Structure 1
Amino acid sequence: MTMKKTFAAVILFIVAPLAMPLTALASEGADRLTRILEPLQTFEARFEQHILDASGERLQEAHGRMWLARPGKFRWEVEAPYQQEVISDGEEVMLHDPDLEQATIQALDHRVTHTPALLLSGSANDLVDSYDVTRQQQGSAETFILVPTLADTLFEELKMTFRGELLTTLQMTDSTGQRTAIEFRDTQQNHAIDDSRFDFEIPEGTDVIRDTR
């Protein structure tokens, strides 16, 4: 799988040393995570994304910017080592690769909603039905461990870390043990984001493919 395809799949999908982790019951973890996410209407940040193999060796990295708005809208722009963007307007998702002059558009379906970007922009209440959630506290950091209850997902475990109820880190682990860690900075929450940010702006000459599966 190429680097570009790997990052696209991920999109369409650590400590206070003196503190001892306290793990709550799964239902309490889900309730707490829902209380944090329910007030979230918009989210904007710069990100750094690292893909690690099962032994912890870094395989790939990228950085860029992202925007989220409920319900179901997001824009994820990779700036380096290449340009790529994934955009959802709440009904469809577009993957745009400027180097290939190609854009793929597909409906926002059940499988896509189980990826991390739309996990944040979707309904917080869906977490209770879709994931087993546990919570760990280490100092000022709260980490939630989400394990999907359905088989058709792109990851086996997702960790979300918050400081002061502000999301700082996402970490996903797939069935091979490969991990993707995404760190956020320069974060803004619940501020105005123009709806045009989630429009599909397809340059002239781009080959548009509509995936009807």
Structure 2
Amino acid sequence: MNRTDTPVVAHTSENTASVSRQRSFGLMLAASALGLMVSPESWAQDAAERLSERLEPLETYHASFEQKILDSSGDHLQEAQGEMWLARPGLLRWEVDAPYAQTVMSDGEEVYLYDPDLEQVTVQAVDERITHTPALLISGNIDDLTASYDVHYENGDEDIFTLVPSTPDTLFEELNLMFEGETLTELWMTDSTGQRTAIIFSAIRQNSEIDDERFTFEIPEGTDVIREGR
């Protein structure tokens, strides 16, 4: 993980995205062959509704994670492990244990990026760009999510939702959410350089009680504080 970047992410492989597009196109051809009038807009609407059905019941989410960053050729650049807590709307705690300790926490109004090795914390107001970070995006408003992204859906051993931003000013080009049944198990994200980030979740607990203190950040004494945008 790049220690200067917000580590809250997730991606989809190029092969998965290609297969998804091919299957969607094949379904449209099959519908046409049967004489059904199915527009691309109706497919997108159906995918968005399916995604909303998965996310709306999600009040809290707690899991361990393994994060891998790959370059455009698929070579591993970095790996990290940690634990996350999420509560809607807008609450997040993302703790990286290895190889470098780091904490990212949102209380819904501000985001704290804490590096204990550097004894430094960066504080940012929650704005539109910050909320487009994948984990915060999932913890946010469902209507805003489906309004800001074109959503595509692929059904298989896993249900895969591909989100493509409808505006250019985002942190990623494509985001994939993978579900096993009703449980979110993986996030894949691809940025404009072709770099991909994969986050695989384990020991998942959905809608379990999370102490409010998880989403309160106390700045350690002696820590340098950088407040951006002020």
> What is the TM-score with the length of structure 1 in the denominator?
0.91
Question: How many Å apart are 1:11 and its aligned residue?
Answer: 1.8
Ranges in structure 2 where 5+ consecutive residues have no aligned partner: 13-18, 28-42
Determine which structure has the larger strand proportion and give its number.
1
Specify the alignment match of 2:163 in structure 1: 146
Q: Determine helix, strand or coil for the equivalent of 1:11.
A: coil
Which of the numbers 112, 122, 128 marks the counterpart of 2:146? 128
Measure the CA separation in 2 of the matches of 1:85 and 1:128: 28
Identity %: 59
Measure the CA separation in 2 of the matches of 1:172 and 1:60: 15
Do the aligned residues in 1 keep the contact of 2:90 with 2:107 (CA within 8 Å)? Answer: yes
Specify the alignment match of 1:94 in structure 2: 112
Question: How many Å apart are 1:35 and its aligned residue?
Answer: 0.6
Question: How many Å apart are 1:127 and its aligned residue?
Answer: 2.0
The amino acid across from 1:40 in the alignment is L
Measure the CA separation in 1 of the matches of 2:88 and 2:221: 29
Specify the alignment match of 2:136 in structure 1: 118
Ranges in structure 1 where 5+ consecutive residues have no aligned partner: 15-19
Specify the alignment match of 1:4 in structure 2: 3
Do the aligned residues in 2 keep the contact of 1:46 with 1:184 (CA within 8 Å)? Answer: yes
Q: Determine helix, strand or coil for the equivalent of 2:50.
A: helix
The answer on 1:82 being equivalent to 2:79 is no
Specify the alignment match of 1:105 in structure 2: 123
Measure the CA separation in 1 of the matches of 2:207 and 2:172: 28
Superposition misfits of 4+ residues, deviation over 4 angstroms: none
Q: Determine helix, strand or coil for the equivalent of 2:136.
A: helix
Residues 44-73 of structure 1 show CA distances to partners (whole Å, capped at 9, x for unaligned) of 000000000111100000000000011100
Which of the numbers 50, 61, 77 marks the counterpart of 1:43? 61
The amino acid across from 1:151 in the alignment is P
Q: Determine helix, strand or coil for the equivalent of 2:135.
A: helix
The answer on 1:202 being equivalent to 2:201 is no
Q: Determine helix, strand or coil for the equivalent of 1:212.
A: coil
The amino acid across from 2:65 in the alignment is F
Determine which structure has the larger helix proportion and give its number.
2
Count of aligned pairs: 204
Q: How does 1:176-195 map to 2 (within 5 A)?
A: 176-195=193-212
Do the aligned residues in 1 keep the contact of 2:150 with 2:165 (CA within 8 Å)? Answer: yes
Specify the alignment match of 1:157 in structure 2: 174
Q: Determine helix, strand or coil for the equivalent of 1:3.
A: coil
Report which of the two structures shows the higher radius of gyration computed on alpha carbons: 2
Q: Determine helix, strand or coil for the equivalent of 1:4.
A: coil
Q: Determine helix, strand or coil for the equivalent of 1:187.
A: strand
Residues 127-156 of structure 1 show CA distances to partners (whole Å, capped at 9, x for unaligned) of 2210000000113x1000000001110000
Question: How many Å apart are 1:126 and its aligned residue?
Answer: 1.4
Do the aligned residues in 2 keep the contact of 1:12 with 1:115 (CA within 8 Å)? Answer: yes
> What is the TM-score with the length of structure 2 in the denominator?
0.84
Residues 74-103 of structure 1 show CA distances to partners (whole Å, capped at 9, x for unaligned) of 000000001000000011000000000001
Do the aligned residues in 2 keep the contact of 1:30 with 1:127 (CA within 8 Å)? Answer: no
- Please, what is the CA RMSD of the aligned residues? 1.8
Specify the alignment match of 2:31 in structure 1: none
Question: How many Å apart are 1:12 and its aligned residue?
Answer: 7.2
